[in-house]
Amino acid sequence: MDELNYVPNRLAGGLSGTRSDIVGVVVTSLYHSEFASILDALQSALLKSNLQVMLANTRYDPDQEVTLVRSILSWRPAAVAIIGVDHPPKVTELLRASGVPIIEMWDIGGDVIDTAVGMDHTAVGAAQARHLIERGCKSLAFLGSMRDNDARAQKRATGAAQAITAAGLNDLVFATRPEAGKPDLGDHLARELLSKHPGIDGIICNSDVIAFGVLRALKDLGKRVPEDISVIGFGDSEASSCMTPSLSTVRPDRQRIGEKTAEAILARIDDEPSTTMTLDCELVTRDSTRSI
């Protein structure tokens, strides 16, 4: 093969069997390395079984998700791994009818098509809120990007609201916009939030990237973190421990999600039963939340 520079004809190979050696992987974003560790672990594990990854990025666009899933299925994949359990109806229909193993990653909170590996995002939001409440916060806000097709952020917001209600505090205040999560958005929303609700003393961010902008805005506004306002993020970005103050956050085990997704793919290819695997997250306490 090396001497002849031989490259296999995947189209011809696909015609000769019932499936190809491709695993379609559909993510919702490639920004800020949100899913990079998952993809790296997933690809590494699948390569050991001679399975290749075909990556598609929907950019949280439901029409794009339909187009990309249809395209991946046309390659007769060995399996499909896709972010989330909430999809446009047509995507769910296509995946259910495909006859190939479907592994939904990152979220397990909903109707599962086949097999799911991920976390309970409602529980994550509740944990974020309880962390701030336990540290004395009385007036909390949920801040960040909230796109129509990002059910995971919506679930975290719901979990936070439920925890606040259970604690007998005032309703959760929302400061969100349906656009991509960037530090500038966090900065803008924090300023807007405090101009309308100056008594807020705890901010739950739907991502670390949003929280970076929030911390910048609070510094410019002369607010002390965590003495005046505590801030918690989600994702544990590599920069979170390097901020001043360092950012408290929730750390998903991306490596393990990728590895367990690969294991689930191989198990389903071997006709083992469907499963739903819930993986724990770690709440990492740093300087941006008050000490007890």
| Strands 173-177 and 202-205, sheet pairing | unpaired
Question: At 96, which helix (H) or strand (E)?
Answer: helix 89-97
Angle (CA) 227 234 104, round 5°: 165
Q: For residues 216 and 205, is the Cβ–Cβ distance under 8 A?
A: no
Looking at 3.20.20.80, 3.40.50.300, 3.40.50.2300, 3.90.870.10, the CATH number of the domain 121-251 comes to: 3.40.50.2300
Query: Which residue is it, tokens 């949003």?
Result: 210
| Strands 282-284 and 249-251, sheet pairing | antiparallel
Instruction: State residue 20's pLDDT score.
Output: 85
Q: For residues 204 and 130, is the Cβ–Cβ distance under 8 A?
A: no
Q: Choose among 216, 279, 203, 218: nearest CA to 248.
A: 203
Does the fold of domain 121-251 match that of domain 10-120+253-280? yes
Residue 267: exposure state from Cβ atoms within 10 A (0-12, 13-18, ≥19): middle
What are phi and psi for residue 284, nearest 5 degrees? Answer: -100, 115
Q: For residues 64 and 9, is the Cβ–Cβ distance under 8 A?
A: no
Instruction: State residue 10's pLDDT score.
Output: 56
Q: Choose among 201, 191, 196, 128: nearest CA to 170.
A: 201
Angle (CA) 264 146 194, round 5°: 135
Delimit the domains of the chain by residue range.
Answer: 10-120+253-280, 121-251
Looking at 3.40.50.2300, 2.60.40.420, 3.30.1490.20, 3.40.50.300, the CATH number of the domain 10-120+253-280 comes to: 3.40.50.2300
Instruction: State residue 180's pLDDT score.
Output: 86
Residue 82: exposure state from Cβ atoms within 10 A (0-12, 13-18, ≥19): buried
Q: For residues 44 and 134, is the Cβ–Cβ distance under 8 A?
A: no
Written as six digits, the tokens of 163 are 């925890």
Instruction: State residue 148's pLDDT score.
Output: 83
Digits of tens for pLDDT over the chain (292 positions)?
Answer: 667 656 555 556 555 556 789 999 999 988 767 799 999 999 999 999 999 999 999 999 999 999 999 999 988 999 999 999 999 999 999 999 999 999 999 999 999 999 999 999 999 999 999 999 999 999 999 999 998 889 999 999 999 999 999 999 999 999 999 998 899 999 999 999 999 999 999 999 999 999 999 999 999 999 999 999 999 999 999 899 999 999 999 999 999 999 999 999 999 999 999 999 999 999 999 999 987 6
* Terminal C-alpha separation, the chain: 64
Instruction: State residue 14's pLDDT score.
Output: 53
Cα–Cα distance for residue pair 75/70, rounded to 1 Å: 9
Q: For residues 129 and 163, is the Cβ–Cβ distance under 8 A?
A: yes
Distance of CA 66 to the CA centre of its chain: 19
Q: Choose among 81, 150, 74, 87: nearest CA to 115.
A: 81
Written as six digits, the tokens of 89 are 């109806």
Q: Choose among 54, 33, 32, 34: nearest CA to 43.
A: 54
Q: For residues 220 and 247, is the Cβ–Cβ distance under 8 A?
A: no
Query: Which residue is it, tokens 């949100």?
Result: 34
Q: Which of helix, strand or coil describes residue 166?
A: helix
